[in-house]
């Protein structure tokens, strides 16, 4: 699949069905059926018990901003998108993801509550987005 950026920068390739869930705007993680650990971004094998019995779970669309940084010198495949601000968010109920800020860096502070969503980018790409309520 090539939906998540021109370069596969998110470890989603093993996760069957994630693309469809992203298109529906769902923040999806996976839960290990054995130990109940939730992974966001989703993964199909549990690093804790090395089990592959995983199921999709809908995660919250809100969380706490852990940190952020603005990228001016973008990696290959993202040159046309720079500058952009990436945010690390602890999602309520479990999981941690990186999303692109939808808004101004002046409006965000570490520790504040933010919303996460799915945003379409040019060239049929999708990315997690982060915005202030």
**Site of interaction with Zn ion (CB under 5 A):** 32, 34-35, 46, 48-49
Q: Are 38 and 57 in contact (CB under 8 A)?
A: yes
In this structure, what token pair is assigned to residue 133? 């309520």
The least CB distance from residue 48 to Zn ion, in Å, is: 4
The least CB distance from residue 51 to Zn ion, in Å, is: 5
- Residue pointed to by tokens 């919250």: 60
Contact residues for 47 (Cβ-Cβ < 8 A; gap 6+):
none
Closest to Zn ion by CB, 26 vs 34, is 34
The least CB distance from residue 95 to Zn ion, in Å, is: 14
Closest to Zn ion by CB, 48 vs 110, is 48
Closest to Zn ion by CB, 38 vs 88, is 38
């Amino acid at each position: 699949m090539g939906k998540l950026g021109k370069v596969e920068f998110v470890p989603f390739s093993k996760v069957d069905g994630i693309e469809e869930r992203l298109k529906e705007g769902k923040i999806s993680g996976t839960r290990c059926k054995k130990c109940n650990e939730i992974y966001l971004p989703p993964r199909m094998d549990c690093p804790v018990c090395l089990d592959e019995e995983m199921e999709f779970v809908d995660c919250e669309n809100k969380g706490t901003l852990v940190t952020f940084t603005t990228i001016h010198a973008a990696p290959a495949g993202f040159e046309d998108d720079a500058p952009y601000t990436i945010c690390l968010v602890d999602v309520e109920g479990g999981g941690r993801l990186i999303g692109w800020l939808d808004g101004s860096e002046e409006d965000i502070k570490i520790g504040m509550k933010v919303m996460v969503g799915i945003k379409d980018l040019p060239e049929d790409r999708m990315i997690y987005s982060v915005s202030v309520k």
